[in-house]
Amino acid sequence: MKVLVTGGCGFLGSHVCEFYARKGASVISYDNMTKHELARTGFAAAAARNYNWNYLKKLGVKLVKADVRNFKALADYSSGCDYIIHTAAQPAMTISWEDPVLDATTNVMGTFNVLEAARRHKIPVAACATIHIYGNKINEELREAKTRYVRKPAAIDEKYEILQGMLSPLHASKAAGDIYMRTYIDTYKTQAASFRLTGIYGTRQFGGEDHGWVANFAIRSVFGWPLTMFGTGKQVRDIVYAADVCEAFHAFYRTRASGVYNIGGGVKTMISLLDCVDILEELNGARPEVKFAADRYGDLRYFVCDTDKAKKQLGWTPKIMPEEGIRRLLEWIKANKQAFTGKK
């Protein structure tokens, strides 16, 4: 089996590359190695950037530095592959406000190019959308709670209308990718799955304030740096561990049940930001210093996926619970401090 992973040197992409390399597949990581987001984290960007590249090299993954906006290169490298998994993206809402051109070209044209390569070569393709495409109207439907959570009674399924309420360029670009996926399924019968992903976390995640909040909190707690909580800390996500998402990609490869899917931890992994700090305190033996700041425009205060469709059609359910996933993440950070500081 030969697999092409766009964004293979990113957080999720590196897990997908590892997952297939360990299955004995021939794996190509196709990544432009941008430092755009890493440069904003305060970590040593070069050390952080090279970490996944070096990790995958040792696993025998073929590393290609190339851009999803370059259709010709993408079509050439994907030729002869059995599966394309598209994780490359401009993933941060903050960056989408500041640089809508980068956001649109990467997320819209990048996803379009991946799909078009898949269509021409008749390769099944799975791509990463995000639960953000449902829009921020959910915020208006919340009941403020005196407990640790903002509460909305039900988990949200794929029938929930997308793009409701206030929109950012990220909503538009990720939704466009999701709509193109559906379009290629309908028009060209491309075997394709668009995963509407909730907050993902795991090892090899260089999370900062723009993107990857669980890792951002975990990294800061290990280094003793204060972390900033935007809003009350009662925001809720059904976080999902990266290895579980890899299993979901493989479930689509096995079933070829094309469509859009919510991929998240579901109700049982729902945690608030404050819960996450509690878990970090318990696992680290010290409570991280927390600073509160104003709510950020565009932040979604609640999201819990209904993952029934993925269970029924892909036979997939998430397995790793937050305490276990965060424990693995902390162990990795502690063993790899130089990847954040650049110092031996």
Residue 253 tokens read as: 């490869």
Distance CA 143, CA 145 (A): 6
Instruction: Look up residue 31 and give its two tokens.
Output: 């990544």
Tell me the closest approach of the beta carbon of residue 169 to ligand NAD, in angstroms.
13
The span of 10-18, 118-126, 184-192, 331-339 binding ligand NAD (CB under 6 A) equals 10-18
Interface pick for ligand NAD out of 3, 4, 5, 11 (rule CB under 6 A): 11
Q: 100: which 2 tokens?
A: 């809508």
Give 140's Cβ-side CA count (13 Å radius): 7
Terminal CA-CA length for the chain = 38
34 interacts with ligand NAD by CB under 6 A: yes
Q: Which stretch binds ligand NAD (CB under 6 A): 4-12, 138-146, 156-164, 266-274?
A: 4-12
How far is residue 81 from each of residues 17, 63, 106, 121, 184, measured CA to CA in Å? Answer: 14, 15, 22, 8, 19
Smallest separation (angstroms) from ligand NAD to the CB of 138: 15
- Single out the segment in contact with ligand NAD by CB under 6 A; choices: 6-14, 290-298, 313-321, 336-344: 6-14
Interface residue with ligand NAD, options 48, 88, 104, 280 (CB under 6 A): 88
Per-residue x/- track, 53-82, ligand NAD (CB under 6 A): --------------xxx-------------
Please give the structure tokens belonging to residue 303.
């999201």
Tell me the site size for ligand NAD, rule CB under 6 A: 27
Instruction: Identify whether the C-beta of residue 181 lies closer than 8 Å to the C-beta of residue 133.
Output: no
Closest to 121 measured CA to CA, from 173, 179, 69, 71: 71
The yes or no reply on residue 269 touching ligand NAD (CB under 6 A) is no
9 lies in the binding site for ligand NAD (CB under 6 A): yes
Q: Closer to ligand NAD by CB, 106 or 269: give it.
A: 106
| Site for ligand NAD contains 12 (CB under 6 A) | yes
**Interaction mask 110-139, ligand NAD, x per CB under 6 A:** x-----------------x-x---------
**Tokens linked to 232:** 């009350």
Helix spans in the chain (H): 11-22, 45-58, 71-78, 93-98, 100-104, 110-121, 137-140, 169-188, 213-223, 242-255, 273-284, 308-309, 322-335, 338-341
In the shown chain, the binding pattern of residues 200 to 239 toward ligand NAD, with x for contact by CB under 6 A and - for none, equals x-----------x---------------------------
Give the whole-angstrom CA distance, residue 157 versus residue 306.
Answer: 5
Q: Which residues here bind ligand NAD, judged by CB under 6 A?
A: 6-7, 9-13, 31-34, 37, 67-69, 87-89, 91, 106, 110, 128, 130, 197, 199-200, 212
